[in-house]
């Protein structure tokens, strides 16, 4: 088992990052491993990176637009070892994410292209093979001469690898019925349940296909409806294996196909509203499924649009394979030996913020292909963003990192359920849930039945399917319990069962110690502090119409009052140049103005009322944030990675899922800071921020100062935000608040913080008992955690233990009084 120590990993990454910055070439500037000149643009509503494959001495990349089964403005890119980008003239665009290396013919199939060992490119026209190409697989009966293509709307073809002649097996759903627009319902086909195809792979006599979405209006709005499916085809008939949202389908052979197709396992990843799903197929015994926790819920959504293409890919060497899995905002170590008989070895690494479509090892680095800036923000609208628009033109980029970056980002705290208010039978075990990989582990179990039950937790210690009892817990009728597990409890997997039939919720919460400092890394030097009276700010907009620059309506702030400085453009070579363009300057000031009064800051905490009318409270930071927020001098919310938002509220950056992925209910704090960030945006794969101290800017190569020295921006990667420091804060739902007996407070965020304590007090003349309740994930399932009786005139402080994890906390008292519940996160 690898031990991923956050602090040590950060030191290594920062050293490497510092070396790359100081050594960057003026002709090819890079920021945190992102080379702006390698950005990829199209003329569509989204520009994602569909596939990244080293081949023929080059790196090959395809981009995709959102729903373009007959071609688009997207391109096939050839990247040379010295990072020259070549746009291939054979490009026909579309929505491709497929890639496979066919060893016998020595060709890379990527999108609708076939590339031989000498880098010659041939194209299969969409008029003969329409569809959004999502995967390739080796042929079941003629693997030397043919390959399979699968599309997102269940079109299937076999393609002759020599002539590139396609033979249609099943017609793509777009041929007979075209989708209305990018945000209309998914197209339903008649072949399989679910929509929005993702993975294709073959072996053991079948071709396996996954999809991760559902048609209909409900799927555009809700995250917890039935959606997606995993299916297989034996060359004649289709069989639906499981009705859940599935994405990656692969095996030890990866993009080459399995070396021993009759016996090698097939893996599939997916999810439902409860947790991540992992399937493995054995030829003799069929499919087995397991569950893993989610680090992020930004990938949820029954339509399936928020995931892009999660992958399992070998980033090791021929002598030493090393499989990396991306799933729901977490990097995972995935064992190449994973079979139904040997399920040991999956481990969490660290959490990330980038939206990753594919990745590969190339020239002793990792290269991630990302989905960065979508011109259409699709369904991701909310009032805290105001009427802000997306960028004028969609664009994304590659992210070059050290090989050990997956161990160097955010803490791997994660959670997930096996049951959510489900009727279960007596002595029937749940599906296995990952147990190994975290220091602090617990489970929230709620019994909604009318009888007391005894729940037994069992572990598979070595991943061989041998289950032994770990511990038991008695759960009263219509009651709940927080069950903690010893840090030294061995086990690859855990499951539970009840001695009686009942209705249960069983939710696992896992955490690691966040060893980050509470101060920002030096890469953020030169950004103004929140207590600064002045700052060089400005509003930003990615220009459209193939201008491919970032526009800045620069302003200086004195306190919360802005004064115009001028209009500037940031070019691909990262030169910030003043220009005379009053029309664009006025457009930016109008369309990208920071909205006013979208959050409420009171003496207790930050109150947010979301677009569904739900109330949420977040911790406070430095008091100086209050006036600047109320004066609309700080950007609160913006999309800087496709289909999720970055919230910057009172000194903490948060990952905020789209409303169709349950929004604020599933918010995740990333890092806290004392910076006066005026605006932030995505540009050429970079996170760009304004709010600069011009007197200190020249000392930091992450800061670009304008040609006239009057404006500046900071540039880096969104995942640099982890280096600002661990989340901290103070506040609570009540601060000298008049409350009624048994009236619950607003939910207050407690998940993902490190050292947590609460101080309880009241103004009653008799003792008051406070009940602390927890919502493990944000679904509104509240469970009692602890009661504390506070004497009159006294205050009681409680430090939450390390094995306590829940996303939200709330309070109630047993009598009416004036109550205070103040939490501190260090």
**Angle, alpha carbons 58-61-66 (nearest 5°):** 175
Question: Torsion angle, CA of 144/150/155/159, rounded to 10 degrees?
Answer: -20
Tell me: do 468 and 600 sit in the same domain. Answer: no
Residue 242 lies in a domain: no
Residue 309 lies in a domain: no
3-class secondary structure, 665? helix
Q: What is the pLDDT of residues 251-294, one digit of tens each?
A: 999 999 999 999 999 999 999 999 999 999 999 999 999 999 99
Tell me: do 432 and 473 sit in the same domain. Answer: yes
417 neighbors 508 (Cβ within 8 angstroms): yes
Q: At residue 359, what are phi and psi to the nearest 5 degrees?
A: -155, 160
Among 743, 717, 708, smallest CA distance to 817 is for: 743
- Residues spanned by the domain of 459: 414-511
346 neighbors 338 (Cβ within 8 angstroms): yes
**Ordered alpha helix ranges (H), 615-717:** 624-630
**Ordered alpha helix ranges (H), 54-127:** none
How many structural domains is the chain composed of? 4
Which residues lie below 8 Å from residue 184, measured CB to CB, with a gap of 6+? none
pLDDT at 183: 60
Intervals of the chain under pLDDT 50: 1-25
Is residue 115 classed exposed, middle or buried when 0-12, 13-18 and 19+ CB atoms within 10 A define those classes?
Answer: buried
pLDDT at 18: 38
Q: How far is CA 363 from CA 54, 82, 142, 399, 403, in A?
A: 9, 11, 34, 13, 10
- The residues that bridge with 652 in the sheet, in sequence order, are 649, 672
295 neighbors 330 (Cβ within 8 angstroms): yes
325 neighbors 466 (Cβ within 8 angstroms): no
- Encoding tokens for residue 382? 């909310």
Among 371, 378, 222, 374, smallest CA distance to 308 is for: 371
Give the helix/strand (H/E) hosting 636. Answer: none
Among 196, 264, 191, smallest CA distance to 227 is for: 196
Q: At residue 410, what are phi and psi to the nearest 5 degrees?
A: -85, 160
Distance CA 455, CA 507 (A): 13
3-class secondary structure, 467? strand
Distance CA 406, CA 404 (A): 5
Residue 346 lies in a domain: no
Per DSSP (E only), the strands in 35-103 are: 40-41, 48-55, 58-64, 76-79, 85-87, 99-102
Residue 692 lies in a domain: yes
Residue 720 lies in a domain: yes
User: What's the number of CA atoms in the CB half-sphere (13 Å) around residue 586?
Assistant: 4
- Encoding tokens for residue 38? 């390698």
- Residue 688 DSSP symbol: E
Distance CA 609, CA 600 (A): 9
Tell me: do 714 and 625 sit in the same domain. Answer: yes
381 neighbors 390 (Cβ within 8 angstroms): no
Tell me: do 466 and 590 sit in the same domain. Answer: no
Q: At residue 757, what are phi and psi to the nearest 5 degrees?
A: -145, 160
- Encoding tokens for residue 271? 């999810």
542 neighbors 373 (Cβ within 8 angstroms): yes
Question: Torsion angle, CA of 14/15/20/22, rounded to 10 degrees?
Answer: 110
Tell me: do 684 and 535 sit in the same domain. Answer: yes
User: Rounded to two decimals, what is the model's pTM?
Assistant: 0.95
- Encoding tokens for residue 515? 């060893």
User: CATH number of the domain that 127 lies in?
Assistant: 2.130.10.10
Is residue 452 classed exposed, middle or buried when 0-12, 13-18 and 19+ CB atoms within 10 A define those classes?
Answer: middle
pLDDT at 304: 94
Residue 2 lies in a domain: no
Tell me: do 630 and 741 sit in the same domain. Answer: no
Tell me: do 748 and 777 sit in the same domain. Answer: yes
- Encoding tokens for residue 535? 């700052």
Among 649, 650, 627, smallest CA distance to 560 is for: 627
- Encoding tokens for residue 634? 């700080």
- Encoding tokens for residue 758? 């609460």
Q: How far is CA 529 from CA 433, 460, 523, 672, in A?
A: 44, 51, 14, 13
Tell me: do 713 and 746 sit in the same domain. Answer: no
Task: Tell me the helices (H) and strands (E) count for the chain, helix number first.
Answer: 5, 60
Per DSSP (E only), the strands in 523-599 are: 534-542, 550-558, 561-570, 576-579
Tell me: do 558 and 472 sit in the same domain. Answer: no
- Encoding tokens for residue 513? 């110690």
User: CATH number of the domain that 422 lies in?
Assistant: 2.60.120.230
Q: What is the pLDDT of residues 709-726, one digit of tens each?
A: 999 999 999 999 999 999
End position of a domain, from candidates 675, 696, 724: 724
- Encoding tokens for residue 757? 């304590």
Give the helix/strand (H/E) hosting 745. Answer: none
Which residues lie below 8 Å from residue 692, measured CB to CB, with a gap of 6+? 526, 527, 528, 535, 536, 537, 703, 712, 713, 714
- Encoding tokens for residue 153? 């709307």
End position of a domain, from candidates 452, 476, 511: 511
3-class secondary structure, 221? helix
Residue 125 lies in a domain: yes
- The residues that bridge with 471 in the sheet, in sequence order, are 457
pLDDT at 381: 85
Determine how many CB atoms are found less than 10 A away from the CB of residue 217.
Answer: 9
**Sign, Cα dihedral of 207, 135, 272, 337:** positive
74 neighbors 64 (Cβ within 8 angstroms): yes
Q: Which residues of 463-475 are buried (b: 16+ CB within 10 A; e: fewer)?
A: beeebeebeebeb
Q: At residue 606, what are phi and psi to the nearest 5 degrees?
A: -90, 125
Among 109, 89, 91, smallest CA distance to 162 is for: 109
- Residue 744 DSSP symbol: P
Distance CA 166, CA 332 (A): 36
Tell me: do 715 and 741 sit in the same domain. Answer: no
User: What's the number of CA atoms in the CB half-sphere (13 Å) around residue 362?
Assistant: 24
Distance CA 636, CA 608 (A): 11
Tell me: do 671 and 749 sit in the same domain. Answer: no
745 neighbors 734 (Cβ within 8 angstroms): yes
3-class secondary structure, 362? strand
pLDDT at 180: 65
Distance CA 321, CA 364 (A): 14
Give the helix/strand (H/E) hosting 815. Answer: none
Distance CA 607, CA 599 (A): 6
pLDDT at 23: 34
Residue 123 lies in a domain: yes
Distance CA 64, CA 96 (A): 6
End position of a domain, from candidates 511, 534, 561: 511
3-state DSSP helix/strand/coil percent for the chain, to nearest 5?
10, 45, 45
Distance CA 155, CA 511 (A): 42
Tell me: do 496 and 531 sit in the same domain. Answer: no
In three-state form (DSSP H/G/I as H, E/B as E, the rest C), the secondary structure along 501-533 is: CEEEEEEEEEECCCCCCCCCCHHHCCECECCCC
Q: How far is CA 634 from CA 368, 586, 593, 672, in A?
A: 31, 19, 10, 15
């Amino acid at each position: 088992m690898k031990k991923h120590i956050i602090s040590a990993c950060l030191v290594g990454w920062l050293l490497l990052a510092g070396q790359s910055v100081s050594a960057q070439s003026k002709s090819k500037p890079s920021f945190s491993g992102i080379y702006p000149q390698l950005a990829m643009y199209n003329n569509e509503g989204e520009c994602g990176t569909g596939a990244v494959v080293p081949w023929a001495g080059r790196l090959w990349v395809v981009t995709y637009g959102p729903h373009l089964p007959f071609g688009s403005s997207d391109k096939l890119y050839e990247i040379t070892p010295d990072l020259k980008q070549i746009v291939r003239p054979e490009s026909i665009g579309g929505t491709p994410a497929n890639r496979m290396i066919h060893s016998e013919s020595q060709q890379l199939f990527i999108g609708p292209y076939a590339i031989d060992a000498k880098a010659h490119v041939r194209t299969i026209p969409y008029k003969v093979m329409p569809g959004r190409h999502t995967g390739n697989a080796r042929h079941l009966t003629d693997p030397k001469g043919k390959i399979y293509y699968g599309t997102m709307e269940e079109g299937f073809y076999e393609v002759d690898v020599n002539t590139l002649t396609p033979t249609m097996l099943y017609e793509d759903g777009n041929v007979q019925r075209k989708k209305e627009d990018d945000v209309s319902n998914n197209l339903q086909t008649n072949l399989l349940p679910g929509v929005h195809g993702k993975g294709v792979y073959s072996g053991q006599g079948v071709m396996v296909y996954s999809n991760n979405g559902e048609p209909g209006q409900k799927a555009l709005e809700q995250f917890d409806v039935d959606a997606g499916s995993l299916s297989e085809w034996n060359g004649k008939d289709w069989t639906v294996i499981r009705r859940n949202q599935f994405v990656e389908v692969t095996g030890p052979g990866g993009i080459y196909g399995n070396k021993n197709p009759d016996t090698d396992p097939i893996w599939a990843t997916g999810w439902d509203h409860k947790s991540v799903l992992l399937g493995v197929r054995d030829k003799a015994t069929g499919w087995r499924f397991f569950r893993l926790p989610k680090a992020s819920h930004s990938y949820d959504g029954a339509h399936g649009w928020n995931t892009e293409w999660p992958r399992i890919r070998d980033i090791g060497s021929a002598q030493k394979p090393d499989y990396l899995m991306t799933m729901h905002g977490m990097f995972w170590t995935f064992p190449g030996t994973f079979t139904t008989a040997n399920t040991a070895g999956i481990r969490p690494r660290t959490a990330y913020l980038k939206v990753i479509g594919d990745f590969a090892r190339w020239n002793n680095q990792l290269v991630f292909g990302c989905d960065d800036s979508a011109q259409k923000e699709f369904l991701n609208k909310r009032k805290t963003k105001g009427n802000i628009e997306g960028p004028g033109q969609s664009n994304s980029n590659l992210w070059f990192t050290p090989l050990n970056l997956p161990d160097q980002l955010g803490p791997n705290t994660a959670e997930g359920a096996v049951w959510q208010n489900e009727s279960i039978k007596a002595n029937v075990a749940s599906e296995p849930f990952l147990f190994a990989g975290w220091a602090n582990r617990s489970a929230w179990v709620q019994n909604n039945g009318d009888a007391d039950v005894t729940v037994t937790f069992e572990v598979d210690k070595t991943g061989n399917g041998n289950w032994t009892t770990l511990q038991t817990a008695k759960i009263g009728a219509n009651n709940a319990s927080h069950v903690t597990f010893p840090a030294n409890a061995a086990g690859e997997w855990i499951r539970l069962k009840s001695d009686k039939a009942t209705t249960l919720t069983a939710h696992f919460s896992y955490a690691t110690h966040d060893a980050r400092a509470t101060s920002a890394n030096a890469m953020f030097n030169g950004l103004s502090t929140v207590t600064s009276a002045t700052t060089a700010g400005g509003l930003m907009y990615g220009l459209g119409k193939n201008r491919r620059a970032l526009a800045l309506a620069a302003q200086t702030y004195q306190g919360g009052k802005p004064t115009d400085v001028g209009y500037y453009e940031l070019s691909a070579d990262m030169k910030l140049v003043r220009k005379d363009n009053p029309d664009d300057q006025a457009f930016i000031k109008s369309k990208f103005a920071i909205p006013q009064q979208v959050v409420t800051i009171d003496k207790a905490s930050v109150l947010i009322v979301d677009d569904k009318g739900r109330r949420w409270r977040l911790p406070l930071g430095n008091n100086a944030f209050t006036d600047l927020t109320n004066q609309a001098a700080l950007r609160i919310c913006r999309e800087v990675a496709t289909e999720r938002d970055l919230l910057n509220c009172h000194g903490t950056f948060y990952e905020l899922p789209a409303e169709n992925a349950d929004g604020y209910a599933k918010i995740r704090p990333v890092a806290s800071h004392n910076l006066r960030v005026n605006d932030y945006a995505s540009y050429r794969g970079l996170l760009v921020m304004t709010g600069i101290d011009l007197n200190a800017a020249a000392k930091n190569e992450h800061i670009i100062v304008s040609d006239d020295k009057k404006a500046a921006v900071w540039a880096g990667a969104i995942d640099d935000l982890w280096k600002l420091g661990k989340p901290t804060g103070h506040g609570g739902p009540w601060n000298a608040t008049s409350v009624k007996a048994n009236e619950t407070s607003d939910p207050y965020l407690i998940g993902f913080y490190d050292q947590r304590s609460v101080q309880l007090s009241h103004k009653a003349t008799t003792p008051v008992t406070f009940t602390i309740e927890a919502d493990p994930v944000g679904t509104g399932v509240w469970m009692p955690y602890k009661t504390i009786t506070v004497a009159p005139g006294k205050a009681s402080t409680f430090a939450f233990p390390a094995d306590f994890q829940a996303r939200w906390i709330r309070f109630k008292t047993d009598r009416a009084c004036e109550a205070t519940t103040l939490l501190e996160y260090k």
